[in-house]
A and B are shown apart, each in its own frame.
Chain A
Amino acid sequence: MKKNIYFLLVISLALLISCAKNDINQSGLLVPKTVAEDNTLPVFELSDKTKIHLETFGTNTGENVIIVLHGGPGNDYRQYLNLTDLQDDYFIVLWDQRGTGLSERVDEQEISLEQYLADLNEIAVHFSPNHPITLIGHSWGGGYATYYTQQFPAKVKKLVLVEPLPLNKNALDNMEFPKIIITSEEMSRFLGTADFILPDTHATADYMMIVSGIINDDGDYFSSDEKDKVPYYRYGYAAYKAISTDLGLMDNTADYDFVAGLKETFKTKVLILGGTHSSRLGYDFQKKYHENLFFDCQTEKIENAGHYMIVFNAPTILPIIRNYLNN
C-alpha cells in the first residue's frame, strides 16, 4: 500500500514537470526576443557584428540627424517614440544601447563606457558622416550624450538634455537617491520573487530588473497613474550592471565628470528640460547643479511634469525642442 502511494506521488510529480513546456530562461516567453532571435525587428549591425535594435524616422539630408539616447542604464527606446513627431524636419535615430532593450544580449564584460562611446560614434558616423549630429538624451542618456560631447565636441551640433543624471560628482553628491522602504509591499513582493527566480540568464535577469523597479522611483512621476504607463520593450540587467559599475554607482565610488573642459570646447547653447514634479532630477536640480556647467545653457521648467515628460508631456516639450533646434 505504502509503495503504491510513493509510486503515485513520483508519477504525479513527473507528470507535473513534463507539463512545463516553457523554459524560464528562454527569450520570447517571459521577456521579448531580441534582434538576434527575431529577424523581423529593425536591426543595425555594429562593426564587431553586435546587433543593435535601431529604427529611423524621416528623411536624412545629411545635416539633420538626431540621435536619441535612452535612459537607464539598461532601459530602451520605446518611451521616446513621441520624438518621432520631429521627423518632418529631422532624421530621428532611435536605438537600444548595447545589451539592453531589444538589442542583442552580450556578456557584461563587453559593455563599458568606452564601448558605449565607440558604439555611438559608429552610429553617428554611419548616419551623418560629414556633418555634426544633434543628441537628445534622457536621464542616463543625458549623461551619455554629454560624455560623447565632451569627447567629440566637434561632432555635436546641438545638445538636448531631458533631466540628465548628475553630470559630475558634485551634482551626484547633491542628488536625492531613491529611498528603500523596507515596509513597502513592493519590497516584500520583490523579495518573494527573488527567492525562486535566479537572474543567471539574460531572460530571468531582465525580468527581475522590471520586477525590482530599480530604474524607477515613485518620486519620478507627476501622478501615481503614470507609473504603470511608461512603455518599455525589455530592460537589460547586464547593461545596467556594467555601466553602473563603470560609473562607480554600484559601490559608491563614483567620481566621473562628463563636463570637465566642456565650457572651453563646446560653446553651443545646450537645452535642459526639467519637470516640476520630478523629485530627484527635476527643474530645481538641473537649474542648481547643471546649468552653470555649460558655456551657454537654456534650462526650461516644464510645469506638471515628472521624469517621464517625453511620454506624458510631449505636447508641451516638443515645441520647446523644435524651437531650440530651429534656432
Chain B
Amino acid sequence: MKNITYLIICLIASLLINNVTFSQNFDNNFLFRNADSSSNIVNTNWQFDPSIFVNIGYGKLLQIAEKKVEISAGVGSPIFLLKSFDNISLTIDGSTFLLKDKWNIKSKLGFKYDFFDNTLSKGGNFSTYISVMPGYFTKKWFAGIDILYRQQFLTYMKHHDTYKQNFPEATEGWYENRAGFFYFSAKGGYLFHNKIETTIRVSYKMPKTLQLYPPFSVAIAAGIGINYYF
C-alpha cells in the first residue's frame, strides 16, 4: 500500500511540469467479474493535466443480447472552476469485454458534451470516443494499455463582448469541428475488500495529425480514481 501511495505522489509531482488536457473515463474493470455480488458502481476520478479535473460517475451492469455491458454516465469539472461551474463535461458510454480470459480486451463507445467558457467565447462541444484496452484482468488487479480516439464533430460558439470589440463579424452558432485526438494510457487498478477499487493511469495525448502544437498541446496527464461497487 505504501508503494502505491508513493507511486501516486510521484505521478502527481512529475505532472507539474507538463501541460495537457484531460480525458474522462471510468477505469473500472471488476464489475464484470463481480457481477454476482454487484451490478452498480459509483466513481470519482481525478485528472492532473497539470490543472486538476474531477469527475463523478455512476455505472450499471446490464445484460444486452447475452452480453454483459456496462453503461456509465459522468459529470466533471476543472476543480478551479467549480465555483463558476461553467466548464463542466458530461459523458455517457457503454463498455464490454470481448473475450472471457484473463488476457482480455475491453472496448468502449461513448459520447461527450463539454460546456466551455474561455477568454473569448463560451458554448459547448459534442464529441464521440471509442477505445480498446488489451490487458490482464484478475479478481484482484488489472493492468492494460488503453488506446482511445476522440472525434469532435460539433462546437457551439457565442463570443464575449471583449472579442466582438476586436472582431465584430465573429460568427456565432454551430461550427463543424473535425478535430480528433488519440489518448494512449497505461492503466492499472487494485481491488480492496471486494468493494473498493483504486485505479491509476498515465496518459499521452496526441492530435490525429500526429503532430504537437507547442505550447497548446504537450501531451502527458495522469489520473487516479476510486470506485465503489454495490
Give A residues with C-beta under 8 Å from B.
16-17, 19-25, 28-32, 78, 180, 182-200, 204-205, 207-208, 210-214, 228, 231-234, 237, 241, 250
B138 within 8 A of A: no
In the complex, the answer to whether A21 meets B174 with C-beta atoms within 8 Å is: yes
Q: How far is the CA of A16 from the CA of B207 in the complex (A)?
A: 25
Q: Which of B29-37, B95-103, B163-171 contacts A (4 or more CB under 8 A)?
A: B163-171
Per the bound structure, the CA–CA distance linking A183 and B119 in Å amounts to 16
Query: Is residue B55 contacting chain A, with contact meaning CB distance below 8 A?
Result: no
Other-chain residue from A20, A21, A198 in contact with B209 (beta carbon distance below 8 A): A198
Which of B139-147, B184-192, B193-201, B211-219 faces chain A?
B211-219
Q: Mark B169-185, 1 if CB is under 8 A from A, else 0.
A: 11101111111110000
Contacts of B174 in A (CB 8 A): 16, 19-22
With A195-B22, A195-B114 known to touch, is A185 a contact of B155 (CB < 8 Å)?
no
Residues A195 and B80 in contact in the complex (CB < 8 Å), given A29-B170, A186-B119: no
How far is the CB of A187 from the nearest CB of chain B, in Å? 5
Give, as a whole number of angstroms, the nearest-CB distance from B155 to chain A. Answer: 6
Contacts of A233 in B (CB 8 A): 166-167
Residue of B nearest to A25 (CB): B178
Closest to B114 in A: A196
**A20: chain B residues within 8 A (beta carbon):** 154, 173-176
Nearest Cβ in chain B — how far from A227, in angstroms? 9
Q: Report which residue of A188, A205, A237, A250 has the largest number of chain B beta carbons within 10 angstroms of its beta carbon.
A: A188
Q: Give the top 7 A-B pairs by smallest Cβ distance, nearest first.
A: A198-B179, A188-B78, A195-B21, A20-B174, A29-B171, A24-B175, A20-B176
With contacts A17-B153, A195-B22, A195-B114 taken as known, whether A213 is within 8 angstroms of B119 at the C-beta atoms is yes
A contact residues around B211 at 8 Å (CB): 200
- Nearest B residue to A16 via CB reads B154
Return chain B residues, CB-CB under 8 Å to A211: 118-120
How many B residues have CB within 8 A of the partner chain? Answer: 54
User: Do B171 and A30 touch (CB < 8 A)?
Assistant: yes
Q: State in angstroms the CA–CA spacing of A233 and B170 once bound together.
A: 12
CA of A165 to CA of B181 in the docked complex: distance in angstroms? 35
Complex: how many Å from CA A250 to CA B216?
A: 12
Query: 17 A-B Cβ contacts within 8 A?
Result: A22-B176, A24-B178, A30-B175, A189-B87, A191-B20, A191-B51, A192-B78, A193-B116, A194-B21, A195-B114, A196-B114, A198-B208, A205-B216, A210-B163, A211-B118, A214-B215, A231-B166
Collect the chain A residues with CB atoms within 8 Å of residue B215's CB. 212, 214
User: Is B81's CB within 8 Å of the partner chain A?
Assistant: yes
Cβ contacts B111-151/A at 8 Å (1 or 0 each): 00010111110000111000000000000000000000000
The residue on A at minimum CB distance from B51 is A188
From A31, A198, A200, B167 is in contact (CB under 8 Å) with A31
Q: State which residues 78-99 of B face A: CB under 8 Å.
A: 78-81, 84, 87
Q: Which of B78, B165, B215 has the most chain A CB within a 10 Å cutoff?
A: B215
Cα distance A32–B163 in the bound complex, in angstroms: 11
Question: In the complex the two chains form, what is the Cα distance from A204 to B152 in whole Å?
Answer: 14
Q: CA of A322 to CA of B165 in the docked complex: distance in angstroms?
A: 30
Any A CB within 8 A of the CB of B70: no
Closest to B126 in A: A16
Q: Give the distance in Å from the alpha carbon of A243 to the alpha carbon of B76 in the complex.
A: 38
Given contacts A195-B21, A228-B162, whether A205 and B177 have CB atoms under 8 Å apart is no
Residues A17 and B84 in contact in the complex (CB < 8 Å), given A29-B170, A186-B119, A194-B217 = no
Known: A29-B171, A195-B21. A189 touches B117 (CB 8 A): yes
A196/B152 in contact, CB under 8 A: yes
| A191 CB contacts on chain B under 8 angstroms | 19-22, 49, 51, 78
> Which chain A positions have C-beta within 8 A of B84?
185
- Closest Cβ of chain B to A177, distance in Å, is 13
In the bound complex, residues from chain A placing their C-beta under 8 Å from that of B49 are 191
Which residues 31-74 of B sit at the A interface, judged by CB distance below 8 A? 49-51
Any A CB within 8 A of the CB of B157:
yes
Distance (Å) between the CB of A308 and the closest chain B CB? 14
Q: Is the pair A29, B116 in contact by a Cβ cutoff of 8 Å? A: no
> Does B13 sit within 8 A of A, measured CB to CB?
no
In the complex the two chains form, is B120's CB within 8 Å of A197's CB?
A: no
Q: Is the CB of B87 within 8 A of A29?
A: no
Complex Cα spacing A233 to B87, Å: 27
A193 and B175 contact, Cβ closer than 8 Å, known pairs A29-B170, A198-B180, A200-B209: no
CB distance from B126 to the nearest CB of A (A): 8
Q: B16 near A: Cβ within 8 Å?
A: yes
B176, A24: Cβ atoms closer than 8 Å: yes
CA distance A208 to B21 in the complex (A): 14
Question: With A185-B80, A214-B215 in contact, do A196 and B177 touch (Cβ < 8 Å)?
Answer: yes
In angstroms, Cα B203 to Cα A127, docked, is 54
Extra inter-chain contacts (9) besides given A194-B216, A195-B21, CB under 8 Å: A17-B153, A17-B154, A24-B178, A183-B51, A190-B119, A191-B51, A195-B22, A196-B116, A204-B179
